[in-house]
Structure 1
Amino acid sequence: MSEKNQQGKRAARDRLIQQREEARARDRRRRTLIVSTAVVGVLGLAAVIGVIAANTDGKGDKSKASGPAVAPSGATGKDALAIRVGADDAPSTLTIWEDFRCPVCAQFENAFRDTLHELEQDGQIKVDYHLATIIDGNMGGSGSLKAANAAACAQDAGKFSAYHDVLYRNQPQETEDTFGDNAELIKLAKKVDGLDTPGFRSCVEDGKHDSWVEKSNQAFRDGGFQGTPTVLLNGKSVFPKNGDEAISVANLKKWVAEANKGKKPGTATPTP
C-alpha cells in the first residue's frame, strides 16, 4: 500500500473519530442542558427549566395509586402534605417542592445541602418538603412516585432527612427510571443507619404512601408553580427575577439573617 493511500486512510479515520466526538459532545450538551448553570451554586436556569418541567398533563405517568392517602408520621401543613425538617419554632420557613428524579432539584440540593442543614441546626429555619412526580409524567416510569413513597417511609422511621440526601446523592440520569425499582430504593436505605428494617421494606414494597404522594403532586399542580425545584423563603421565591440578586450560599444566609433580625432562634430538635 502506497504511503499516499495510508495517509488518506488515516485522514479519513481521523475525520470519522472527530465526527463521532462532535456527535457525543452534542448529545452531552443536550442531556446536561437542564442541569447547567452559569455559576456554580447559582440556579439561574431553574425558573426556565421549571417551566418546561411543569408543562405536562401527566399522561406519561402510568402509576396511579388507589386507596386513601396515608400521610407519613409527623406530616404537617395543609392536608398534612409537608414533611418538616428543623425546629417547629424556627423564625423562618423554607418551603421546597421537589421531585426525586428532577436533575435541577439534585443540583440545588447538592449545592445548598450543607447550608440548609447548618441553618436548621442553628434554629434559623425549618424546611417543609413537598414531593412531586412531574418527571414520571414527562419521561414515563414511576421513579418519582416510588422514591417519594420511600422517602415518606423513611419519615415514618424518623430518618427522612438522611434518606432524602442519599436519594439526591445517588440520583440516576433523568431518562433512567432506576428509582422505579423498589429493590434499588431499599438498597440505598442501607446507606442510612438503622433504616433498612422489615417495616421500611414492607412500606416501600406495598406503596403505603403512594396515594399521599399523588395528592401532594396534585397540590403542586393546583398551586400554579412553574416547576421543580420551587423554593420559597417565608413565601417568597429565592430564585432571581427581573434583576434580583442571584441565589448563592452567601445570599441565602444573608436573606435568612435579614428575615430573622430581632427574632429568637428555634430549638433545634430532630424531626420526629
Structure 2
Amino acid sequence: MSEKNRDGKRNARERLATERAKQKAADRRRRTLIVSASVVCVLGLAAVIGIVAANAGKNKASSGSGPVVAPSGALGKDSLAIPVGKDGAKSTLTVWEDFRCPACQAFETRYRSTLHGLTDAGKLRIEYHLVRLIDDNTNGRGSLHAANAAACAQDAGRFRDYHDVLYDNQPPETTDAFADDAKLIALAGKVKGLNTPAFQKCVKDGTHNSWVNKSDQAFKDARFSGTPTVLFGGKNIYEDQTLTPEKLRQMVESAARG
C-alpha cells in the first residue's frame, strides 16, 4: 500500500473519531437540556399548583364555603344570634339585618338611642342575626364581608360599637364598598381597642363567612319579607306603621314591670 493511501485512511479514521466525539458531546448536551427542561416544567407545575391552591383557599374563604365558625358568645339555634344586653332582661328583640340595607340604617338611626338605653338598663336584650340580602340582589360581597367583620368585632367584645360605626358609614346601596376588607379594617379604628392584628386577620381570612351564609339561609328558610325584620314576642313589630321609639320603650318597660 502506498504511503499516500495510508495517509488517506488515517485521516479518514481521525475525521470519523472527531465526528463521533462531536456527536457524543451533542448527545450529552441534549440530554442535559431535556433533564433541565423537565425540572423546570416540574417546578413550574408545582408553582402553578401552589398558586391555584392558594387562590382556591382565598376564594373558599371569600365565598364562605369553609367551616362554620360562630363568633364568641353567639347563641340560639345553630348559634346564629349575637346578643346585646343582659341575660336577665325580661324582653328580647330579634333583629334580622343587612349592613348594606338602607331600611336597616333608617331603623338604627331612629331607634338607636332607645335601644341603647333599654339594653344598658337591663330591660331589653337584642339578638342580632346578620344576612346578605343586598349581596344576593346585586351579586356583591359587601354584606357578607361587613357581617363577617361585625362577627370579628363580637370576638373582641366590641360588636355594638362596631355595628353602629358600620351603619354610620354605610355606602350607597349601589356601591359595594364594604367588599373592601381594608375599608372595614379602617372603620375599626373608630372603635377603641378593636383594630388589632387578631381582628385584622379575622376580617382578611373571612373567619365567619360560612356562619354568615348559614344565618342568611335561616333567614330565607323563615320566609321573612325583607330587612330589617324586627320581632318582639314573635311578632314583626317593624311592619306596624304605628310603631315609634316611645311605643317600643313602653312595650319593653311594661314587660319589665311584669
TM score, norm. by length of structure 1: 0.71
Q: Which residue of 2 aligns with 1:3?
A: none
Q: Deviations over 1:179-216 (max 9, x none)?
A: 00000000000000010000000000000000000000
Output the amino acid matched with 1:190: G
TM-aligned CA deviation for residue 140 of structure 1: 1.9
Residue 231 of structure 2 aligns to a residue whose secondary structure is: strand
CA distance 1:93–1:145, shift in 2 (3 Å): same
Q: Deviations over 1:9-28 (max 9, x none)?
A: xxxxxxxxxxxxxxxxxxxx
Residue 128 of structure 2 aligns to a residue whose secondary structure is: strand
Give the Cα–Cα distance (whole angstroms) in 2 for the partners of residues 233 and 219 of structure 1: 18
Q: Which residue of 2 aligns with 1:69?
A: 68
Give the Cα–Cα distance (whole angstroms) in 1 for the partners of residues 162 and 235 of structure 2: 27
Q: Which has the higher contact order (CA 8 A, sep 6+)?
A: 1
Q: Which residue of 2 aligns with 1:256?
A: 252
Q: Which residue of 2 aligns with 1:153?
A: 152
TM-aligned CA deviation for residue 115 of structure 1: 0.5
1:181-196 → structure 2 map (5 Å cutoff)? 181-196=180-195
Higher CA-based Rg: 2
TM-aligned CA deviation for residue 68 of structure 1: 1.2
TM-aligned CA deviation for residue 89 of structure 1: 1.1
TM-aligned CA deviation for residue 98 of structure 1: 0.1
Residue 120 of structure 1 aligns to a residue whose secondary structure is: helix
Output the amino acid matched with 1:176: T
TM-aligned CA deviation for residue 118 of structure 1: 0.1
Residue 70 of structure 1 aligns to a residue whose secondary structure is: coil
In structure 1, the gaps of 5 or more residues are 1-62, 263-272
Q: Which residue of 2 aligns with 1:123?
A: 122
Q: Which residue of 1 aligns with 2:219?
A: 220
TM-aligned CA deviation for residue 137 of structure 1: 0.6
Structure 1 stretches of 4+ moved >6 Å: none
Q: Which residue of 1 aligns with 2:85?
A: 86
Residue 127 of structure 1 aligns to a residue whose secondary structure is: strand
| TM-align CA RMSD | 1.1
1:198-217 → structure 2 map (5 Å cutoff)? 198-217=197-216
Output the amino acid matched with 1:259: A
Give the Cα–Cα distance (whole angstroms) in 2 for the partners of residues 239 and 82 of structure 1: 19
TM-aligned CA deviation for residue 256 of structure 1: 1.3
Is 1:138–2:134 an aligned residue pair? Answer: no
In structure 2, the gaps of 5 or more residues are 1-61
In the alignment of these two chains, the number of paired residues is 197
Q: Which residue of 2 aligns with 1:246?
A: 242
Give the Cα–Cα distance (whole angstroms) in 2 for the partners of residues 240 and 78 of structure 1: 24
Output the amino acid matched with 2:253: A
Give the Cα–Cα distance (whole angstroms) in 1 for the partners of residues 257 and 162 of structure 2: 32
Q: Deviations over 1:95-149 (max 9, x none)?
A: 0000000000000001111100000011110000000001001112100000000
TM score, norm. by length of structure 2: 0.75
